[in-house]
Amino acid sequence: MDLSTTIAGVRFPSCFMNAAGARCVTGDELDALGRSRSAAIVTKSMTLAPRDGNPEPRYYGFPAGSINSMGLPNLGYLAYARIIPELRKFGKPIIASVAGFSEEDFVIIAKVINESRPDLIEVNLSCPNIPGEPQIGYDPDVSARLLKRVRNVVSVPMGVKLPPYFDPAHQERMAQVLEGVGVQFLSLINSVGNGLVVNPDEERVAIKPKGGFGGLGGPLIKPVALANVRAFWKLFGGRLPIIGVGGVVNGTDAFEHFLCGASAVQVGTALVEEGLGVFERLENELAMLLARKGYASPLACRGNLKEL
């Protein structure tokens, strides 16, 4: 079964890769992704200065999913600018995830990272975990200004990682913004921000930062992820490639993302919980499912979701 896919003209050997943030902070973790069956190496979202991130515990996994408030721990963009060329040896696409605390940060980072020649740049407008910092993707005007400026300094394909939207009007407004700024792919969605997980035995929150509030991931967010993939697929008439992110734990979850319009999927919580072997398992499960259903590839079913 050919599980390869193409995003913004870049060919990926399969359709499963890590989500930014999952096992991709250090050089060793990025090397391990290079050696694994992940179809790409996606870096942790990088900031100007190296960051330790928020205080621990800052990740908690439970049967229905996960909550995290990592706080963008990363090596700083200059370290990733040095590491990215070394990752070339793995012969798979490299996606650099760019974050920041101001418009200027994004522009500086994107310009330098672009020169290290990742295959794609994913602009993260959706981290929910920095105390006092709103999620940029919820402000269409700020997003438009920022993306225009980043677009001007980036020559590799540029995509955007968006937060989940819960209202069609917000999706439509963001689609208008994206139309105008030359975005070439979307990663949908980041964690569902500002959730709260409670430990009733201990009568306390599950994670320390922000009084226990953090981004939800894993199976419990799959319907929200699918809804956003589907909504943006329709808004762009299938013209803009979408990487589905959210709740991919087995081959069927990935199939659902493809039906909604995704061209590839990223794996976060399941990668953190299961380790790098998750990619081979997902490939096998999806291949078996597609074969049983008579599809020759994931792209053959892309967007085919039937409505009643």
Alpha-carbon gap, residue 48 to 30, rounded angstroms: 19
* Least gap, CB of 267 to ligand SIN (angstroms): 14
Q: Would you say 183 or 192 has its CB closer to ligand SIN?
A: 192
Catalytic, 191? Answer no
Chain center to CA of 252: 19
Contact 22, 265 (CB under 8 A): no
**Bridge partners for 18 per DSSP:** 267
| Cα dihedral sign, 28-15-224-181 | positive
Q: Which of 38, 66, 191, 269 binds ligand SIN (CB under 6 A)?
A: 191
Out of 15, 24, 127, 260, the active site residue is: 127
Q: Is position 228 an interface residue for ligand SIN (rule: CB under 6 A)?
A: no
Q: How far is the CB of 68 from ligand SIN (least distance, A)?
A: 6
Q: What is the closest distance, in whole angstroms, from the C-beta atom of residue 128 to ligand SIN in the complex?
A: 6
Nearer to ligand SIN, 69 or 114 (CB): 69
Rounded-to-integer distance, Cα 191 and Cα 67, Å: 8
Least Å from the CB of residue 300 to ligand SIN: 31
271: left (phi over 0), alpha (psi -120 to 50) or beta: alpha
Quote the CA–CA distance of 69 and 83 in Å, as a whole number. Answer: 25
**How near is the Cβ of 298 to ligand SIN at its closest, in Å?**
25
- Asked if residue 124 binds ligand SIN (CB under 6 A), the reply is yes
Q: How far is the CB of 190 from ligand SIN (least distance, A)?
A: 5
**Encoded tokens for 73:** 């721990």
Q: Which is nearer to ligand SIN, 71 or 303 (CB)?
A: 71
Applying CB under 6 A, the span of 64-72, 103-111, 137-145, 251-259 interacting with ligand SIN comes to 64-72
In the complex with ligand SIN, which residue's Cβ is closer, 215 or 241? Answer: 215
212 makes contact with ligand SIN (CB under 6 A): no
Tell me, residue by residue from 71 to 110, as one string, x for binding to ligand SIN by CB under 6 A and - for no binding.
xx--------------------------------------
The b/e string for 89-110 (b: 16+ C-beta within 10 A; e otherwise) is: ebebbbbbbbbbeebebbbbbb
**Residues numbered 13-32 forming contacts with ligand SIN, rule: CB under 6 A:** 21
Catalytic residue among 36, 45, 126, 263: 126
Q: Which amino acid does the sequence have at 91?
A: G
127 is an active site residue: yes
Quickly tell me which residue has 């074969």 as its tokens. 291
Query: What residue ranges in 125-281 does DSSP mark as E strands?
Result: 158-162, 185-188, 192-196, 198-199, 204-205, 213-217, 242-245, 264-267
Catalytic residues: 126-127
- Residues forming the site for ligand SIN (CB under 6 A): 21, 45, 69-72, 124, 126-127, 129, 190-191, 215
